[in-house]
A and B are shown apart, each in its own frame.
Chain A
Amino acid sequence: MGTRVLPGVADVVLGEDGILRILHHVGTSVDGERARQISAVHAELAAGRRLPTLIDISGIRSADRASREIAAGMEDSIERLAVVVSGPVSAVIGNFFLRVTRPRYETRIFASIGAAERWLLRGEP
């Protein structure tokens, strides 16, 4: 378990349930540098494991190509990923990541955190 706060970027939390949560701060734009910070913290908390990961991008304004590529490349520490969106902007970003960037781990988009957590914990298809 552990929590890391990246000011102006996101909170990264490893919960007791084993889910690693990346909670982007509202109003932020995610670029490659910020994505690298998140990736480093994720790897630190995962400690060599591949963890079910939840990323909440419901509040972000944009995510550039570099940040998406970095996120898609985190297959060593992400078992599967639930992307939580809210509103059209984050929905576009989430779907772009899913369908265009095409991460190599299983990814789904959810409108609520609860649904996302249930999927991650139960491994439901």
Chain B
Amino acid sequence: MTALGLDAALDLLMRIAAGEAGARGEPAGAEPMIDAIVVGLNMLAEDLEHERARRAVAEALLQDEHDAYDASPALLCSVDATTLRLVKCNATLAAALGVPREQLVGRVLAELFVEADRLAAARAFAAAARGETAAIPELGLARAGGGDLRVSTSVSWSPSPTPRLRVVWRDVTHERRLEAQLLHAQKMQAVGRLSGGVAHDFNNILAVILASATLARRRLAPGHALIPDLAIVEEAARRGAALTGQLLAFSRQQVVSPVAVEVGAHVRDVDRMLRRLIPESIEFALEVAAGEQVAFIDPSQLTQVLINLVVNARDAVAGEGRITVEVASVDVGGAADVVPALDLAPGGYVLCTVSDTGHGMSKEVQAQVFEPFFTTKPVGEGTGLGLSVCYGIVRQAGGHIHVYSAVGVGTTVKVYLPRHGGASVAAPAAEAVTVAGAGTARATASHGTETVLCVEDDDTLRRLTASVLEHAGYRVLVAGDGAEALASLRARGGSVDLVITDVVMPRMSGRELVEVLRAEGRARAVLFLSGYTASAVAHGGGLGDEVEFLSKPFTPDELLRAVRDAIARGR
């Protein structure tokens, strides 16, 4: 019943009561009048009740719609198509932006976006209001507390009650962040594979250069004019080896000896060394939280990470400032202050944080900071491998490293290492794996008469290795890969005292060869050449107890020492 209807009914009753309307010429008796009034009132009451019920249903439907609108997880708003100002929005949008709803209504739509996207937003929505397009690019809404909310937009045009645009935004911030992390991880993986491959091949070349230069120097008479030049060649080869070692660390292919390390205690142990790296003008603070902080990592590599991060922090501060190193035990998975990363699985971690108040990094620099050879320093002031090495070491330890930085504010590097359940050890435990390399001083005998099978797919390195061994008195058999070695041994019958083999070879790997030779009783001892070694092999997994490794490149003396050690272990 409309207001007019109600008025008409009341007017009717009044006129009936006054003896008018529809009863012309008839006397209006009291009883009929009362009956009429009762009938009229009943009809009025019935209509009013009907109207009340209709309105209640309509209001309930409206409230339902309003509740659904407000409760929708989508960010909803309606915009006047003429003025492009908000006329309505839901609670989800207000909460996402951190702005009360009443402060959003009436605002120009483009003003809700971050400054960089406002012009694009204004143009896109104006075109949508004109009916020219319904495609709006992905843009960033500005949050009240800072930061932006990346949203994808759906827009439809509605002619009523006044021409307006209905806007539906979907928050894709998390999605884009995960995509970026995935892309970054894929890129780092690809770069790692490339780096590892280059380093492996380069190591073979360096091994030849280093061994040949050493041999040549020894064959010359003392005081020969060429000796200093050959020493320079050896030194250059060693520096090259150090570089390839860093690349291998980045590509997670370095030979490692992880143990359970109490990280807090380890950082305290190296505190003095870290302080020596920074000038007195920079304040240095070390904070180790209480509680157990045990991680499974090679201690020397942990030290390397700390050194690299502290040196980077020192260079960023460049004068007066502060560097803080913190160690704590954290749990990931539901903690609001931990940025979820693609590969940071829920669980317990030891968190090492190195923070500085230096010049900070832009987002563009942050995106590349772990790439090998990337540096913002002038030429000659850094190899650009420091953070790459950290990345490789941490990842090889099963952890995660993340950089947070702001230009003019500073940088924080967070290293998450999976918390280890076993007891920590102060010194490396006895291992099944022995790694030989530059500077190792063990067996001094450099000659022998045993029979050695040398298996190496690099032709030059194979010939050089055989030459060094033969020169030292060994009887040497050679093969280009595992299959050739096995066929050769089976053909001549018998066994060898030592098998020297590269790990990764075509047709049959060194590991597979050794398993067969051992099963057939054809090899008493084994020496792996580890220029390209997966960590499972380096840890001696599944190969038995007598496993020796020799890292490429190696000097002739290192080769001969490793051969004696391997033969001795095999007896």
Interface residues of A (CB under 8 A from B): 61-65, 85-96, 99-100, 102, 109, 111
Cβ of A63: which chain B residues have Cβ within 8 Å of it? 43
Decide yes or no whether B515 CB sits under 8 A from chain A.
Answer: no
Partner of A87, one of B8, B13, B26, B46: B26
Cβ of A85: which chain B residues have Cβ within 8 Å of it? 22-23
Partner of B47, one of A88, A93, A100, A109: A100
Rounded to whole angstroms, the CA-CA distance of A100 and B13 in the bound complex is: 12
Q: Please provide the chain B residues from 7 to 29 with a CB less than 8 Å away from any CB of chain A in the complex.
A: 8-9, 12-13, 16, 21-26, 28
Decide yes or no whether B33 CB sits under 8 A from chain A.
Answer: yes
Closest to A61 in B: B39
- Check B28 against A88 for contact (C-beta < 8 Å): yes
11 A-B contacts, Cβ less than 8 Å apart? A62-B39, A64-B43, A87-B32, A88-B36, A88-B37, A89-B39, A91-B23, A91-B36, A99-B8, A99-B9, A102-B5
Decide yes or no whether B239 CB sits under 8 A from chain A.
Answer: no
Smallest CB-CB A-B distances: 8 pairs? A91-B22, A88-B36, A99-B8, A92-B40, A100-B5, A92-B36, A88-B32, A95-B12
Cβ of B50: which chain A residues have Cβ within 8 Å of it? 65
Which residue of B23, B28, B35 has the most chain A CB atoms within 10 A of its CB atom?
B23
Decide yes or no whether B180 CB sits under 8 A from chain A.
Answer: no
Rounded to whole angstroms, the CA-CA distance of A109 and B12 in the bound complex is: 13
- Check A109 against B22 for contact (C-beta < 8 Å): yes
Q: Least Cβ distance of A84 to chain B in Å?
A: 10
Closest to A97 in B: B43
Partner of A93, one of B23, B24, B32, B39: B39
Q: How many residues of B contact A (CB 8 A)?
A: 27
Q: Scan B31-61; emit 1 where CB is below 8 A from any A CB, else 0.
A: 0110111011011101100100000000000
- Check A111 against B35 for contact (C-beta < 8 Å): no
- Check A90 against B22 for contact (C-beta < 8 Å): yes
Q: Least Cβ distance of A113 to chain B in Å?
A: 14
Q: Least Cβ distance of B363 to chain A in Å?
A: 68
Decide yes or no whether B1 CB sits under 8 A from chain A.
Answer: yes
Closest to A94 in B: B22
Rounded to whole angstroms, the CA-CA distance of A63 and B42 in the bound complex is: 10
* A100/B1 contact (C-beta < 8 A), A65-B47, A93-B39 known: yes
Partner of B33, one of A65, A88, A94: A88
- Check A65 against B36 for contact (C-beta < 8 Å): no
- Check A91 against B42 for contact (C-beta < 8 Å): no
Partner of A88, one of B23, B42, B43, B44: B23
Partner of B43, one of A86, A90, A96, A109: A96
Rounded to whole angstroms, the CA-CA distance of A96 and B22 in the bound complex is: 11
Q: Least Cβ distance of B450 to chain A in Å?
A: 113
Closest to B4 in A: A99
Besides A91-B36, A96-B9, A111-B22, 7 other CB < 8 A contacts? A62-B43, A64-B43, A89-B39, A92-B16, A92-B39, A92-B43, A99-B9
- Check B26 against A93 for contact (C-beta < 8 Å): no
Rounded to whole angstroms, the CA-CA distance of A100 and B47 in the bound complex is: 9
Rounded to whole angstroms, the CA-CA distance of A62 and B37 in the bound complex is: 12
Main SS class of interface, B: helix
Closest to A95 in B: B12
Cβ of B39: which chain A residues have Cβ within 8 Å of it? 61-62, 89, 92-93
Cβ of B22: which chain A residues have Cβ within 8 Å of it? 85, 88, 90-92, 94-95, 109, 111
- Check A89 against B9 for contact (C-beta < 8 Å): no
- Check A100 against B9 for contact (C-beta < 8 Å): yes
Closest to A85 in B: B22
Closest to A102 in B: B5
Partner of B24, one of A100, A102, A111: A111
Q: Please provide the chain B residues from 302 to 337 with a CB less than 8 Å away from any CB of chain A in the complex.
A: none
- Check A65 against B46 for contact (C-beta < 8 Å): yes
Cβ of B28: which chain A residues have Cβ within 8 Å of it? 88
Q: Least Cβ distance of B276 to chain A in Å?
A: 97
- Check A87 against B9 for contact (C-beta < 8 Å): no
Closest to B34 in A: A88
Closest to A100 in B: B5
Q: Least Cβ distance of A123 to chain B in Å?
A: 22
Rounded to whole angstroms, the CA-CA distance of A85 and B40 in the bound complex is: 14
- Check A65 against B43 for contact (C-beta < 8 Å): yes
Rounded to whole angstroms, the CA-CA distance of A61 and B38 in the bound complex is: 11
Rounded to whole angstroms, the CA-CA distance of A85 and B13 in the bound complex is: 16
Partner of B13, one of A86, A92, A94, A111: A92
Cβ of A94: which chain B residues have Cβ within 8 Å of it? 22
* A87/B12 contact (C-beta < 8 A), A64-B46, A95-B22, A111-B25 known: no
Closest to B25 in A: A111
Rounded to whole angstroms, the CA-CA distance of A63 and B43 in the bound complex is: 8
Rounded to whole angstroms, the CA-CA distance of A64 and B39 in the bound complex is: 10
Rounded to whole angstroms, the CA-CA distance of A96 and B1 in the bound complex is: 11
Cβ of A92: which chain B residues have Cβ within 8 Å of it? 12-13, 16, 22, 36-37, 39-40, 43
- Check B16 against A99 for contact (C-beta < 8 Å): no
Closest to B41 in A: A92
- Check B23 against A87 for contact (C-beta < 8 Å): yes
Closest to B13 in A: A92
Cβ of B47: which chain A residues have Cβ within 8 Å of it? 65, 100
- Check A99 against B36 for contact (C-beta < 8 Å): no
Which residue of B5, B21, B28, B33 has the most chain A CB atoms within 10 A of its CB atom?
B21
Rounded to whole angstroms, the CA-CA distance of A34 and B380 in the bound complex is: 104
Cβ of A88: which chain B residues have Cβ within 8 Å of it? 16, 22-23, 28, 32-33, 35-37
- Check B43 against A91 for contact (C-beta < 8 Å): no
Cβ of B5: which chain A residues have Cβ within 8 Å of it? 99-100, 102
- Check A89 against B46 for contact (C-beta < 8 Å): no
Cβ of A61: which chain B residues have Cβ within 8 Å of it? 39
Q: Least Cβ distance of B129 to chain A in Å?
A: 39
Rounded to whole angstroms, the CA-CA distance of A64 and B45 in the bound complex is: 11
Rounded to whole angstroms, the CA-CA distance of A86 and B46 in the bound complex is: 23
Rounded to whole angstroms, the CA-CA distance of A100 and B12 in the bound complex is: 10
Cβ of A89: which chain B residues have Cβ within 8 Å of it? 32, 35-36, 39
Closest to B16 in A: A88
Q: Least Cβ distance of B489 to chain A in Å?
A: 106
Rounded to whole angstroms, the CA-CA distance of A102 and B6 in the bound complex is: 12
Rounded to whole angstroms, the CA-CA distance of A111 and B22 in the bound complex is: 6
* A96/B26 contact (C-beta < 8 A), A65-B47, A88-B35, A91-B16 known: no
